[in-house]
């Protein structure tokens, strides 16, 4: 454990202000899809075959009004205008990759997250998973439907638990081999079939760092589009302090004081919010 950079206090403060002040002034995606099957022209978000998004003329990624193609996915209304998603079946290297768009203002997050997830879903469901025939967008449901057996595939959402494990005022943070050097984060893992979120949390923490968990409480959720994770964020109180890393998903883990945090994930992530919220709560005690 060598990297213990000081927390970026300025950045920690600005996220909260940006997220919660004046949010009502910003447009939201109205997910009202009725009537979209008759659209001839609409504004659109264009995504290529590998998840690059085209720059737009409105709110960074929205195009001017264009003719709507047969396979366009209706998204709803944005600023009172119908909006669709066009997914290209080839690559546009000059467009910007999805992760880079996460740096946009917070109010665009749901729109970008929705578009990226639906693009992935349409790309991955061009053929029926049951009989192998072609599938096309359903006329009035958010579904890809098989032309032969009529099986419908709905957008895939994969629930995950993400948890900040605490012991008193200390935070358990860990790093995956996939992280940038020096960066630590909270623990996370997919919920398995048949599991509750709380059961998944206790299992993941035990598997990844060998710590037993006592009380847990829910914080908030976030739809994270790489590729379709639905993050359920929790705080978890550790009953034990000894850390035994699994060495596969986690290559290092340690307890940190709020005053000496390592490099953290970006403020667009729910991991950052879990940490920021906890640090604020212990700072005022
Ligand atoms: Zn089929």
CA of residue 226 to ligand 1 center, whole Å: 27
Q: How far apart are the CA of 240 and the centre of ligand 1, in A?
A: 51
DSSP 270: H
pLDDT tens-digit series, residues 163-219: 999 999 999 999 999 999 999 999 999 999 999 999 999 999 999 999 999 999 999
Tell me the fold of 157-283: Nucleoside Triphosphate Pyrophosphohydrolase (3.90.79)
Domain locations in the chain as residue ranges:
23-124, 157-283
Contact present, 162 and 274 (Cβ < 8 Å): yes
CA 126 to each of CA 68, 98, 143, 146, 188: distance values in angstroms, whole numbers, following the listed order = 19, 21, 11, 9, 30
Ligand 1 mean position, distance from CA 46 (Å)? 27
E-state strands within 155-277: 158-167, 170-175, 187-190, 213-224, 229-238, 252-256
| Residue 60 DSSP code | T
User: Would you say 202 and 191 are in contact if contact means Cβ atoms under 8 Å apart?
Assistant: no
* Distance linking the first and last C-alpha atoms of the chain: 28
- In the reported structure, the alpha carbon of residue 136 is separated from the centroid of ligand 1 by a whole-number distance in angstroms of 11
Task: With cut-offs at 50, 70 and 90, classify the pLDDT of residue 275.
Answer: very high
The rounded Å distance from CA 134 to ligand 1 centre is 7
Q: How far is the CA of 148 from the centre of ligand 1 (A)?
A: 5
Question: H/E/C letters for each residue in 197-216?
Answer: HHHHHHHHHHHHHCCCEEEE
Cβ neighbour number for residue 65 with a 10 Å cutoff: 13
Q: Are 40 and 67 in contact (CB under 8 A)?
A: yes
Q: In this structure, how many other beta carbons lie within 10 angstroms of the beta carbon of residue 203?
A: 16
Centroid of ligand 1 to alpha carbon of 142 (angstroms): 17
d(CA 122, CA 78): 21
Q: Is 272 helix (H, G, I), strand (E, B) or coil?
A: helix
pLDDT tens-place string over residues 226-260? 999 999 999 999 999 999 998 888 999 999 999 99
User: Measured in angstroms, how far is the CA atom of residue 132 from the centroid of ligand 1?
Assistant: 6
Give the CATH number of domain 23-124: 3.90.79
Distance 147 CA to ligand 1 centre (A): 7
So what's the pLDDT on residue 285?
A: 60
Q: Would you say residue 18 has pLDDT above 60? A: no
Residue 85 pLDDT level (bands cut at 50, 70, 90): very high
Predicted confidence (pLDDT) at residue 96 exceeds the cutoff of 60:
yes
Q: Ligand 1 centroid to 123 CA: how many Å?
A: 16
Query: 157-283: same fold as 23-124?
Result: yes
Separation of CA 144 and ligand 1 centre (Å): 10
pLDDT confidence of residue 4: 33
């Amino acid at each position: 454990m060598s990297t213990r950079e000081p927390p970026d206090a300025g950045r920690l403060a600005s996220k909260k202000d940006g997220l919660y002040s004046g949010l009502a002034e910003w447009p939201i995606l109205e997910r009202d899809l009725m009537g979209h099957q008759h659209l001839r022209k609409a504004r659109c978000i264009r995504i290529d075959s590998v998840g690059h998004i085209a720059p737009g003329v409105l709110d960074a990624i929205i195009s001017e009004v264009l003719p709507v193609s047969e396979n366009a996915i209706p998204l709803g209304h944005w600023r009172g205008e119908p909006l669709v998603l066009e997914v290209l079946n080839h690559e546009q290297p000059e467009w910007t990759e999805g992760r880079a768009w996460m740096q946009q203002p917070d109010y665009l997050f749901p729109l970008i997250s929705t578009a990226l997830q639906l693009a992935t879903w349409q790309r991955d469901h061009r053929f029926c998973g049951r009989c192998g025939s072609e599938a096309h967008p359903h006329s009035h449901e958010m579904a890809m439907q098989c032309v032969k057996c009529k099986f419908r595939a709905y957008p895939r959402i994969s629930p995950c638990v993400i948890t900040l494990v605490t012991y008193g005022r200390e935070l358990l943070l860990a790093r995956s081999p996939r992280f940038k050097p020096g960066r630590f984060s909270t623990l996370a893992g997919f919920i398995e079939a048949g599991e509750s979120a709380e059961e998944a949390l206790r299992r993941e923490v035990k598997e990844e760092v060998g710590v037993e968990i006592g009380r847990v409480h829910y914080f908030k959720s976030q739809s994270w589009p790489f590729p379709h994770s639905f993050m359920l964020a929790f705080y978890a109180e550790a009953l034990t302090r000894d850390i035994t890393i699994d060495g596969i998903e986690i290559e290092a883990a340690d307890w940190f004081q709020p005053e000496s945090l390592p490099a953290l994930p970006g403020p667009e992530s729910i991991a950052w919010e879990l940490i920021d919220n906890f640090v604020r709560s212990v700072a005022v005690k």
